[in-house]
Amino acid sequence: MVNQVNPTNPGSDMIGILGGTFDPIHYGHLRTALEVAEHFGISDMRLIPGKVPPHRPQPHASPEHRLAMLQVAIASEPCLHADDRELRRDGYSWSFDTLESFRAETGNERPLLFTLGFDAFQHFQTWHRWQDILQLAHLVVVHRPGYSLPPEGWHMPFLSENPDDLRTTPAGRIYSLAVTALDISATNLRTRLKTGKNPRYLLPDAVLGYIQRHQLYCGT
């Protein structure tokens, strides 16, 4: 059955996807997810913590703690949703497998917007089954204001400047979106926590409270 686009909210049938280790979740992750959702009118923006990321060091906090921190961080924002599918899956947390699981649930017509940062996009051609990812979803490449994608390269045939192209097709487009620049990193947060420096205002108070209650990152 083909999903029909809601004419009163053309983004309502889209699913936004933002993955990461979220170790811990912070305002850089949350602001990006919210701005992507607002830009396209998405009411279902999924944040997906990875279990075994293939392209970066393994997380410090357990999957259970990272999911719990994510859940408390987004509890008051109705368009952001925690999705634990990668935590429930064994092996590497390949983006292709995650998107394929979404397609198994939603069918082939619903637009999926897979969000990734500019740095990650520069290495996208090294990803597992990267060409097939574009058969499953659109790519939304987020970056600081003033940045842009290269004016030539493999991505040019897929590039679109019209958000309606992503709303009305299920996959295959690449869209560049400037988001608020928040220079926050989970690595820096973990260092601050380890050395006793105050990380407040870099992540939600609810997340900081969870970290303190469970004494996370103290010895990492």
Q: Encode pLDDT of 134-178 as tens digits.
A: 999 999 999 999 888 988 999 999 999 999 999 999 999 999 999
Of the pLDDT bands very low, low, confident and very high (cuts 50, 70, 90), residue 12 is low
Residue 50 located in a structural domain: yes
| Average pLDDT of the residues in 103-128 | 96
Instruction: Show the tokens assigned to 57.
Output: 């060091």
| Average pLDDT of the residues in 183-207 | 96
Helix runs in 41-149, H state only: 63-73, 95-106, 118-122, 130-136
| Average pLDDT of the residues in 69-84 | 98
Q: Fill in the amino acid letter for 81.
A: H
Q: From the centroid of its chain, how far is CA 114?
A: 7
Least confident of 60-69, 76-85, 146-155, 184-193: 146-155
Residue 205 located in a structural domain: no
Residue 31 located in a structural domain: yes
Cα–Cα nearest to 21, from 45, 72, 57: 57
pLDDT at 148: 86
pLDDT at 3: 34
CATH number, domain of 80, equals 3.40.50.620
pLDDT at 7: 42
pLDDT at 55: 79
Cα–Cα nearest to 120, from 146, 93, 139: 139
Of the pLDDT bands very low, low, confident and very high (cuts 50, 70, 90), residue 1 is very low
26 pLDDT more than 90: yes
6 pLDDT more than 90: no
Cα–Cα nearest to 142, from 38, 217, 72, 13: 38
| Average pLDDT of the residues in 7-28 | 84
pLDDT at 54: 87
Torsion of CA 118, 12, 29, 166, to 10 degrees: 0
pLDDT at 4: 35
Q: Are strands 112-117 and 15-20 parallel, antiparallel or unpaired?
A: parallel
166 lies in which domain range? 15-183
How many domains are there within the chain?
Answer: 1
Q: Which helix (H) or strand (E) holds 212?
A: helix 205-214
Of the pLDDT bands very low, low, confident and very high (cuts 50, 70, 90), residue 8 is very low
Least confident of 11-15, 35-39, 148-152: 11-15
Residue 68 located in a structural domain: yes
User: What is the distance between the alpha carbons of residues 95 and 55, in angstroms, rounded to a whole number?
Assistant: 11
pLDDT at 137: 98
Residue 1 located in a structural domain: no
pLDDT at 11: 55
Mean confidence (pLDDT) of the chain: 93
